[in-house]
Amino acid sequence: MTCCGHCRDAGDFFNERTARRELKRYLRRGPDKPTRLLIEQIRKPGAAGKTLLDIGGGIGAIQFELFEDDLSRSVNVDASTAYQSVSKEEAAQRDLREKTEYHFGDFTDLAASLPESGIVTLDKVICCYPDARKLLEFSLQKSRQLYGLVYPRVNWYTKIGFKLVNLWFRIRRSEFRTYLHSPAMVDGLIRKSGFQKRSYQTTVLWQVVVYERG
C-alpha cells in the first residue's frame, strides 16, 4: 500500500499505548455504548455460522463478542499495526487465531483481495476517512447480508467538536483529519446498493445503523 500522510499519521495517533489502554477498558467494561448497540442489533438475526469483515477492526471487540455467538470466522482490516498487534495477542489468548485473519492497510486498496462476508462492520471508521463514498461502495460489495456502521451525528456540537479536534491535529503538524460526512449521502448510497435499514439508534455523538440486503 502506498501510504498517504493521512494514513501514516493515523498510525501515529492510533498507537500501541492507545490500543492497550482501549483493550484494558474493553476487558474490564465490555464494548463502549455505540459498539455495544451495534453488536446487539447484529445479534438479533444471529451471527452463528456467519463470517465477519470488520473494517477498521481495531482491538477486535466486535469479532470477540460475536465469536461468543458462534461466529464462523473474522477478517480484521486496519491501518494501525499497533491495534492489530494487540488484537492478535488477545485472539491468541482466546484460542481464536485459527479463526481470525488480519490485513494491514487501507481497506480500499485491499478490497479486491478480500472475501465477501455475511456481516460487514465499520465502527467509527468513515469519520476517519476522507473519501467516504469510495469506502462505502467498496465495503458494500463485500456484504452478503448485514451491513453495520457507527458514525457521527451531524449537529452543532459535533461540528464544533470536529473543528477543534482537527485544529489540534494541525497544531501537532499531523496530516490526519476527522470528517463529518453527510448522513443523507451515506444512507442513500447504502440503499442504492440494495440494502434496507434494519435498525437505527443514537447516542449523544454517534448514530448506530444496521442494514440488511434485500
Q: How open is the CA angle 88-27-79, to the nearest 5 degrees? A: 40
Question: How far is the C-alpha of 18 from the C-alpha of 205, rounded, in Å?
Answer: 21
Helix (H), strand (E) at residue 75: strand 73-78
Question: How far is the C-alpha of 15 from the C-alpha of 173, rounded, in Å?
Answer: 17
pLDDT in tens, 133-167: 999 999 999 999 999 999 999 999 889 998 999 89
Set of cell numbers at residue 50: 456467519
Residue 107 CB-half CA count within 13 A: 30
Which pTM does this prediction carry? 0.91
pLDDT in tens, 16-62: 899 999 999 999 999 999 999 999 999 998 899 999 999 999 999 99
Phi, psi of 185 (to 5 degrees): -65, -45
Q: Which residue segments constitute the domains of the chain, with CATH numbers given?
A: 5-213 (3.40.50.150)
Question: How far is the C-alpha of 211 from the C-alpha of 195, rounded, in Å?
Answer: 6
1 falls in which pLDDT band (50, 70, 90)? very low
